[in-house]
Structure 1
Amino acid sequence: MANMLAAVDEGATHVQGTWNGHGERVGNLDLAVAIPNLDSEGYKTISSDALASLTSTAHEVARIQRQRMDPRQAFVGKRVARHKGGMHISAVGRTQNEDGNGKNAYEFFDPSRYGNEGAFVASKQGGAAFIAQFTGEARLLRRDQRDRLRSEKPLQGKIMEKIKAIESLGFSIARGPASLELLMLKSMEDAPRPFTVIERPKIYDAVGADADATVKILSRGDEVVSHTVGAGKGTVNAMFLALIKGLQGKFPDVRNVSVVDFDVEKLQGSDQSSASAVQVAIQFFDGDEQWATTSASEDMLEASWNAIVDGLEWKILRMEAKRRVEI
């Protein structure tokens, strides 16, 4: 990268590289990083519309190549404009444009120029500043709920205590922003759950064979419990399909939901045995939006189930929020 910039400074007009630096050889110039570097130095590279699609293009190329995107990749990585910590988040909010875009005191570039976006990471250090900023990103909240979260100190304290309790176990709520949104709604006691799990999944699984999962749920407004069976490639997939099957009659939008990423990580401080506590993070996609949930337990299947429930509950509430007309 430094050699390329020096060459352009000396008059070079042709730059060659590959998307995300992927190629048959090592040391390829990463075009997804080279273009923003040149742009930030004042060189004309590609159109403003093309610049705005840089992040999505880099991620799509990685998907086609079946390569995992580095979340720390400059300019286009998911984490490059994330902020954590109360004073840090407060300063970001105070120095951004009114629309929430533009450079701020902690960024040397505008993420939105290259199709990326900033984010605020939940943590026990975030405090009221984090909650106030996160409400602007949350996709489920009504206007009056946002106002409550920004103004009611006892409510903010209640939510931060829950976050602190979670993180004291080594569990990072930041890995599942959708789960955090649900936590906030439940703390406000202002969001009737779209469904209730009557009986947790019962599993039948054999090594090398498809798994079956049965679940019992009661959808909001129904009087009859739904008892469904899902068959899938593995236990987690079977639980997911069983819940989809039980919900789709009442909430047909869940049919479009798929799991695009599933990650399990042993919690810090947990013992080294096969019963060590783990955190599960799941990324969902419905063809339009992507969201992430997370849960933790000494039982990997329990953590997975809780994250699945959060994911589909978030989807249903999100569709209801989209249909809601705010005055």
Structure 2
Amino acid sequence: MTRTRPEGTPLGDEFHVYDTTLRDGAQREGISYSVADKLAVARLLDSLGVGFIEGGWPGALPKDTEFFARAASGELELKHAALVAFGATRKADTQAAQDPQVRALLDSAAPVITLVAKSDRRHIERALRTDVPTAAAMVADTVRFLVGEGRRVFLDAEHFFDGYAHDPETALRVLDAGVQAGADVVVLCDTNGGQLPLGIAETVAEVGEKTGFRLGIHCQDDTSCAVANSIAAVQAGASHVQCTANGYGERAGNADLFGVLGNLVAKLDMPVLPEGAIGELSRVSHGIAELANIAPDPHSAYVGASAFAHKAGLHASAIKVDPLLYNHIDPALVGNDMRVLVTEMAGRASLELKGRELGVDLAARPEALTASVDEVKRREAAGWSYEAADASLELLLRRNAGEADAESAVFSLESYRVIIDHAPDGSVVSEATVKLHVGGQRVIATAEGNGPVHAVDAALRTALRPHLSWMDEVALADYKVRILAGAHGTDAVTRVLLDSADGAREWTTVGVHENIVEASWLALTDALAHKAYRVRTETKG
């Protein structure tokens, strides 16, 4: 059957990267996109170069209807992708041309339409409450009508793998009804997510051999195999793969778009994205996570902050010789970076690499390197943690390297005191007094806060503000407290991680002590020392 390609269909049609973040991905618990969010997600996906963006179910959901209306009005200009409307076949007791939901698919103005149809006899008979011939007729009539209206149609064969195992004749009959009516692709859906890679590959290969149809794959992640299943299907002959950004989706989620793309491009050398677009993988992943209001998973393959982070000293020794010895690809290929984490597991190579990353050359200073390794191991044993506190680690390394200017004190502490006042009306106020020596002057300042740490921070700022022009630039971005395991109740050792920001950059410092105020004080003073070092360095530069 020969058909004219509808307007909006991508020219490079050998392989389809199909994203359903805005429909299937939005079924994840906790996600609720506004229409503006959906438009922003679509722009990010288009910038990556995916071929098809499924925008939602117009006619069934008012928000999705509005999304397609705004997209059609010119708010969404896609450079790479075709917009797809998702919906169901006609009802059993009507014709496609008269079915309101089918008409809504046309009204969406989307050039491509994906229809979902049950392909498992049990679902046809129990959920649709009809018979197989009627279900096949519903598919054929709807596809034929939409193709006749100039739309390109894909058919999602829901519950295909379970249905094919139970009754292969019915599953194939549904596919055949769609293709004979004009569907370009029939997508085999592992709707319950229960398949494993070898089984997926066998079924895809077998169905492709029996039918000759163009096959797609849609995998859920209930066995934690959605990415592997998708890749197995592609290797078995599927040329259309459906995914969601960051694996968002119902239950355990869907096949992760970025994991699938990383494997297709970096491992199988398949040119499924525009040239250079694979370098946008990390940026797009994190951008969509922001719009979904979900913290990015640092351990996501390819795009996670920890995807190329190395902790063991043995790894660092090899990486020092050749980074690819312990990285499966160059992280820059997908827009990510390699990091070396420094913990009690670190050896000389780890610290040397980390120092290089932070701008401290320890290779030419073996005594400083030895002292730094010993100090890190000793401190980590006492509860300090440097893998997330680069600013404190940099100060430690510079101090051991003899760069006294790096931690020449912003001030010297004489003493501080904190008083907590529980008033008769039940209010609790903390008051802190700090006594410092700054620039040859003795400075005393007092401030109140809603807690002891807040009060100490406020008093410290009051004391330093007249002496440091940049003091008001530094803001507390985040404050994390952890009671270390193995300690005793309220006597326990406390670790504080402090994120500071000055509008241009963020940095993290750490403090550890039995007293939470002192632990916080150590992190606070490291934060200011690090800022002071940066200011001095920039001034000299």
Q: How far apart are residue 197 of structure 1 and its match?
A: 2.8
Correspondence for 1:117: 337
**What is the identity, as a one-letter code, of the residue corresponding to 1:106?**
Y
TM-score, normalised to structure 1, is 0.80
Pick from 80, 87, 94 the counterpart of residue 307 of structure 2. 80
> 1:93-115, CA deviations, whole angstroms, 9 ceiling, x for partnerless residues?
1113xxxxxxx100102222223
How far apart are residue 226 of structure 1 and its match? 5.4
Correspondent of 1:190 among 404, 411, 419: 404
8 Å CA contact retained: 1:216, 1:228: no
Aligned length: 307
Partner of 2:473: 256
| SS of corresponding position for 1:225 | strand
Distance 1:213 1:52, change over 3 A: farther
**1:154 aligned to 2:367?**
yes
- Residue 130 and residue 238 in structure 1: after superposition, are their counterparts in 2 closer, same or farther (change >3 A)? same
Contact map agreement 2:391 2:507 (CA 8 A) in 1: yes
Amino acid across the alignment from 2:517: L
Residue by residue over 1:149-178, the C-alpha shift from the partner in whole angstroms, topping out at 9 and shown as x without a partner, is 222322222222211211222433323121
For residue 175 of structure 1, what is the aligned residue in structure 2?
388
Residue 46 of structure 1 and its aligned partner are, at CA, apart by 4.3
Distance 1:83 1:53 in 2: 23
User: What is the TM-score normalised by the length of structure 2?
Assistant: 0.51
SS in 2 for 1:15: strand
Q: 1:58 to 1:324 in 2, by over 3 A?
A: farther
Of 202, 207, 216, the match for 2:435: 216
Question: Cα offset for 1:50?
Answer: 4.9
Specify the alignment match of 1:101 in structure 2: none
Distance in 2 separating the partners of 1:171 and 1:152 = 24
Contact 2:512 2:519 in 1 (8 A): yes
Whether the 8 Å contact between 1:283 and 1:291 is mirrored in structure 2 is yes
What is the distance in 2 between the residues matched to 1:57 and 1:118? 18
Question: What percent of counterpart residues are identical?
Answer: 28
CA contact (8 A) 1:72 1:80 kept: yes
Alignment partner of 2:534 out of 310, 313, 318: 318
Q: 1:186-217: CA deviations, max 9, x gaps?
A: 23262222222333352446576565544333
- C-alpha displacement at 1:7, in angstroms? 3.8
What SS class does the counterpart of residue 349 from structure 2 fall into? helix
Measure how far apart 1:238 and its partner are: 3.8
For residues 247 and 53 of structure 1, the distance between their equivalents in structure 2, rounded to whole angstroms, comes to 43
- 1:288–1:267 Cα change, 3 Å: same
The change in CA–CA distance for 1:5 and 1:315 in structure 2 (over 3 A counts) is same
Deviation of the 1:37 alpha carbon:
2.7
Q: Counterpart of 2:279?
A: 52
CA drift of 1:314 comes to 0.9
Q: Distance between the aligned counterparts of 2:250 and 2:493, measured in 1?
A: 39
- The one-letter amino acid paired with 1:121 is L
Q: Which runs of 5+ in 2 are unaligned?
A: 1-226
**RMSD after superposition:** 2.9
Matches within 5 A, 1:259-278: 259-271=476-488, 273-278=489-494
**What residue is the counterpart of 1:21 in the other structure?**
247
Contact 1:195–1:313 (Cα < 8 Å) also in 2: no
1:307 pairs with 2:523: yes
Per-residue displacement from partner, 1:69-117 (whole Å, max 9, x unpaired)?
A: 3322222222222223333212101113xxxxxxx10010222222322
Counterpart Cα distance in 1 of 2:317 and 2:368? 18
Match of 2:497 in 1: 281
Please state how far the C-alpha of 1:243 moved relative to its aligned partner. Answer: 3.1
Match of 2:318 among 72, 91, 95: 91
Change in Cα spacing, 1:26 to 1:125, as seen in structure 2 (3 Å) is closer
Cα distance, 1:17 vs. partner?
0.9
Q: Counterpart of 2:353? A: 133
Q: Which ranges in structure 1 are unaligned for 5 or more consecutive residues?
A: 97-103
Residue by residue, what CA displacement relative to the aligned partner does 1:125-148 show, whole Å, maximum 9, x if unpaired?
A: 433322321221115x4xxxx2xx
CA separation of 1:39/1:214 partners in 2, compared to 1, >3 Å: closer, same or farther?
Answer: farther
SS in 2 for 1:269: coil
The equivalent of 1:296 in structure 2 is 512
Q: Which has the larger radius of gyration?
A: 2
Higher relative contact order (CA 8 A, sep 6+): 1
Picking from 369, 372, 377, the partner of 1:164 is: 377
> After the TM superposition, which of the residue ranges 203-212 and 158-167 deviates more from structure 2?
203-212
